[in-house]
Amino acid sequence: MSILDAVGGTPIVRLDALWPDTGVELYAKLEMLNPGGSTKDRPALRMVREALASGRIQPGGLLIESSSGNMALGLAQACQVHGVRLIVVVDEKTPDDTRRLLTVLGATVDCVTAPDPATGQWLIARLARVQALLAEHPGSVWTDQYHNLDNPRSHEDGTAREVMEALGEPDAVLVAVSTCGTVSGFRDYVRAKGLRTRVIAVDVENSALFGRAAGPRPIPGIGSSLQPAFFAPEEVEVRHVSTRATVGGCWLLARREAFVAGGSAGAVVVAARRVANELPKGSRVAMVLVDRGERYLDTVYDPVWVERELGSVSQCIDEAMA
Ligand SMILES: Cc1ncc(COP(=O)(O)O)c(C=O)c1O
């Protein structure tokens, strides 16, 4: 037994106070209650276990991964338990507390200090740093969450199965996207079981995942400057939410449901309202809420930061409710 036995099996709760005017039943899968604080515990654990089982890595070996924070924490936890060394490449948007937790968990934190000069994208700079580290450390292994099929499989067998077992066949499930591992796992589960549930990706502005141009994205974890590796973009239904509305959604969740969730949850709740308004009364809508809000206290939940980056908190809330 270890802390890793606590990964998965997260609660699902009905949220009645958030969008009562929509007339739908709204459910939240509380992925922030995984021991590492996010849904990324699932793919992290699966990738480490599969790498060990296949002999790609041995105890004492070195894993390298790029992450905005959550995957890094999931990997740090799994690597510590399995005696694997870990270097995580993060960037300046990764909160300080996450970096400190990573160090406490025994990971080496390598922080990229400038975005890729050609594209202005932090992710591209992180991936270049991963390649440099792999070359510097012969025998090291890149888990590559962006292409590793154990990422979506962990959600197909885990997050998606748990939501569907709890709710039967909800009308829609909304999932924030970055690597697209989570949404892909849901899509695969729904297809394999022949369910009618609509699986809806929730993306932010300035994300290139679904054919738009990449630009600055101040909220870590959601959106990407890459194309999804697990499906063609046109295969998945998507809703885009502005950064302002995303922040407003977070504040509404806190004010109406006493629930301080991570940045991507704000986008998901806003998209859920828009989808719910198009559905018949009594429909059932599920949302996957990835991480908790403590790591966003200096950004999403700091009125000074919000004012500087986006306008006032009340403007953000208005946009979330528009
Ligand atoms: C806070 C947050 N929300 C959503 C996502 C998107 O999950 P996925 O990478 O499975 O698309 C991530 C991924 O890092 C995340 O950290």
pLDDT, tens digit (0-9, with 9 covering 90-100), for 160-208: 999 999 999 999 999 999 999 999 999 999 999 999 999 999 999 999 9
Task: Answer yes or no: is the C-beta of 291 below 6 A from any ligand 1 atom.
Answer: yes
Q: In what order do the strands lie in the sheet with 62-66?
A: 108-112, 85-91, 62-66, 141-142
Task: Answer yes or no: is the C-beta of 115 below 6 A from any ligand 1 atom.
Answer: no
Low-confidence stretches of the chain (pLDDT < 70) are none
Q: Which atom of ligand 1 is nearest to the CA of 43?
A: 10
For residue 221, report the distance from its CA to the centre of ligand 1, in Å: 5
pTM for the model stands at 0.97
Closest by Cα among 238, 215, 219 to 228: 238
Write down all domains in the chain, each with its CATH number in brackets. Answer: 3-33+152-321 (3.40.50.1100), 41-142 (3.40.50.1100)
pLDDT for 68 equals 85
pLDDT for 267 equals 98
DSSP assignment string, 148-208 = -THHHHHIIIIIIHHHHHHHSS-SEEEEE-SS-HHHHHHHHHHHHHT--PEEEEEEETT--
pLDDT for 229 equals 94
